[in-house]
Chain A
Amino acid sequence: MTEVLMPNTLAEALSMISKDGHDVLILGSGSDVIPRIREREIVPKKVLDLSGLGSELNYIRIEGNVIRMGALVTVRQIIDNELFKGRLEAFLQAGRMFGGPQIRNMATVGGNLGAASSSEDLIPIFIALDAKVKMASIDGDRLVPVSKLVVAKRQIDRRPNEIIREIYFEMPDDSSWTAFFKAGRRNSLIIDLINMAMYLKLNIDGTKIEDIRIALNRVRGKTPERAYKTEEYLRGKRIENETIARAQEVLDSEVQLSSDFRASAEYRKSLDKVILARLINNCRDRIVEGRRTGN
């Protein structure tokens, strides 16, 4: 019989997994894991439920220009927080289409990072923001860049005695914007065929791309990854139709998307190209608009 551990403090939780952490499955809310336990897809010896740690792990703070989110922040809290209504729009775009309303009420940031399935929508956004994950253990904290977090499908760089404690990133400046898009068969309760997150910064006079980071899911072995070559091509370029068309070709040659029962690799690739153009234009328009209205 599975044992459910329900600590009340992080210190207590960390001591519970300090020795036999291999046997323990950690739950943020359980919205990903519980259906999989039901299906017997996973049969954990012990489950560690973090839901009692809200006072320690549920916060969204801004310190200087760094935004810190505790592992137990829910998708609902992100959607409702004013902080995400401007340059961090990617979170809103992902949040509004995340699972369904009830799942958004439960699903946590830490759970999304920990589950690391190919459909975890927040991971590409965190990658585009160059975020870092803080892992806690009884030996102290360890930082993992989110771009290095997912090592294979549903496998992350987390040691058995560690708990995801926090994720943090720099707030984009007023020449920058973030955007996210996912394509699925319907808007709600769907595993996406493809998703993409983008951070884009324009130069001072707003004519060229100064910096860009593009992250997609399902790249190489279903792990999320940066499209480095596409980024490199776009850096310093003017946003014109020809540039975008060429960038789409670079992206096409760079990503290795896989086929499955949901969609073929070819279809995913054609979606990717459209999404790339859309996100570039979306970010550019919002930066230009913000400058005009002084936001």
Chain B
Amino acid sequence: MKISVNVNGRNVDADVEPRKLLVDFIRDDLHLTGTHVGCDTSSCGACTVLLDGVAVKSCTMFAVQANNRNITTIEGLSKGDELHRLQSAFIEEGGLQCGYCTPGMIMTSAWLLSNNAAPTEEEIRNGISGNLCRCTGYDSIIRSIQKASSDRRGGRK
């Protein structure tokens, strides 16, 4: 099936097999391998991308369902060499160990902050409750998100 999607601001026309998952389209066809596959069963959140600005699990939809829609992956967050404030905050606060869950964590957080510029710790915990980190690094992940949110407001805690 022919689809037309906007990925990270770039229009892409493609002919995809109807059963192909969005995550496989992103990784195998577009070679954007920052989006990870952790579980394949809609549990871990490593494959989270933004679909029209909303966090979704890209292993849980067909690529053809993204026809005429906007997708943002982790590669689309930075502007050239300038990292997104969430990416910088994850580095500064040590919000990752092995890094496998990180793209999904950051994409979910980007969606969270787009709805709520200054979430409480509880709102952050709820917000990332669909993303699993098996290095058990949640505390530093939460600190990273808090830092990104306070950076946005122009001040540091």
Q: Across the two chains, which residue of chain B brings its CB closest to A2?
A: B19
**With A105-B54, A106-B56 as given contacts, are A49 and B129 in contact (CB-CB < 8 Å)?**
no
Q: Which of A30-38, A141-149, A150-158, A253-261 contacts B (4 or more CB under 8 A)?
A: A30-38
Q: In the complex, A78 Cα to B14 Cα: how many Å?
A: 34
User: Is B98 interfacial (CB-CB < 8 Å)?
Assistant: no
Is B130's CB under 8 angstroms from A188's CB?
A: yes
Q: In the complex, A4 Cα to B126 Cα: how many Å?
A: 34
Q: Across the two chains, which residue of chain A brings its CB closest to B54?
A: A105
Q: Across the two chains, which residue of chain A brings its CB closest to B16?
A: A4
Which of B21, B48, B61, B108 gathers the greatest number of chain A CB atoms within 10 Å? B61
Is A30's CB under 8 angstroms from B129's CB?
A: no
Q: In the complex, A187 Cα to B41 Cα: how many Å?
A: 18
Q: Which of A96, A100, A187 contacts B45 (CB 8 A)?
A: A100
Task: Name the distance in Å between B156's Cβ and chain A's nearest Cβ.
Answer: 27
Q: Across the two chains, which residue of chain B brings its CB closest to A31?
A: B60
User: Is A184 interfacial (CB-CB < 8 Å)?
Assistant: no
User: Is B67 interfacial (CB-CB < 8 Å)?
Assistant: yes
Q: Which of B18, B19, B65, B127 contacts A101 (CB 8 A)?
A: B127
**A interface, size bucket:** 20 to 34
Q: In the complex, A30 Cα to B19 Cα: how many Å?
A: 12
Tell me the total A-B contact number using a CB cutoff of 8 A: 88
User: Is A204 interfacial (CB-CB < 8 Å)?
Assistant: no
User: Is A18 interfacial (CB-CB < 8 Å)?
Assistant: no
**With A6-B64, A101-B55, A103-B57 as given contacts, are A187 and B129 in contact (CB-CB < 8 Å)?**
yes
Task: Name the distance in Å between A3's Cβ and chain B's nearest Cβ.
Answer: 6
Is B61's CB under 8 angstroms from A106's CB?
A: yes
User: Is B138 interfacial (CB-CB < 8 Å)?
Assistant: no
Which of B1, B62, B111 gathers the greatest number of chain A CB atoms within 10 Å? B62
Task: Name the distance in Å between B121's Cβ and chain A's nearest Cβ.
Answer: 15
| Residues on the B chain within 8 Å of A96, using CB | 126
**With A101-B108, A103-B57 as given contacts, are A30 and B65 in contact (CB-CB < 8 Å)?**
yes
Is B108's CB under 8 angstroms from A35's CB?
A: no
Is A31's CB under 8 angstroms from B42's CB?
A: yes
Q: In the complex, A102 Cα to B64 Cα: how many Å?
A: 19
Within 8 A of A (CB), among B1-59: 1, 17-19, 21, 40-43, 45, 48, 54-57, 59
| Residues on the B chain within 8 Å of A1, using CB | 17-19
Q: Which of B18, B60, B127 contacts A34 (CB 8 A)?
A: B60
Within 8 A of B (CB), among A1-60: 1-4, 6, 29-31, 34-35, 37-39, 47, 49, 51
Is A102's CB under 8 angstroms from B18's CB?
A: no
Is B64's CB under 8 angstroms from A103's CB?
A: no
Q: In the complex, A189 Cα to B18 Cα: how many Å?
A: 27
Q: Across the two chains, which residue of chain A brings its CB closest to B62?
A: A4
Pairs across A and B, CB under 8 Å, 15 listed: A2-B18, A2-B19, A4-B64, A38-B59, A47-B18, A49-B62, A49-B64, A76-B54, A101-B55, A101-B108, A101-B128, A101-B130, A102-B56, A102-B130, A106-B57
Chain B residues within 8 Å of A, Cβ to Cβ: 1, 17-19, 21, 40-43, 45, 48, 54-57, 59-62, 64-65, 67, 108, 111-112, 126-131
Chain A residues within 8 Å of B, Cβ to Cβ: 1-4, 6, 29-31, 34-35, 37-39, 47, 49, 51, 76, 96, 99-103, 105-106, 187-189
Q: A6-B67, A187-B129 are in contact. List 17 more A-B contacts (CB 8 A).
A: A1-B18, A1-B19, A6-B64, A31-B61, A34-B21, A35-B60, A38-B21, A38-B40, A47-B18, A100-B45, A100-B129, A101-B112, A101-B126, A102-B55, A102-B108, A102-B130, A106-B61
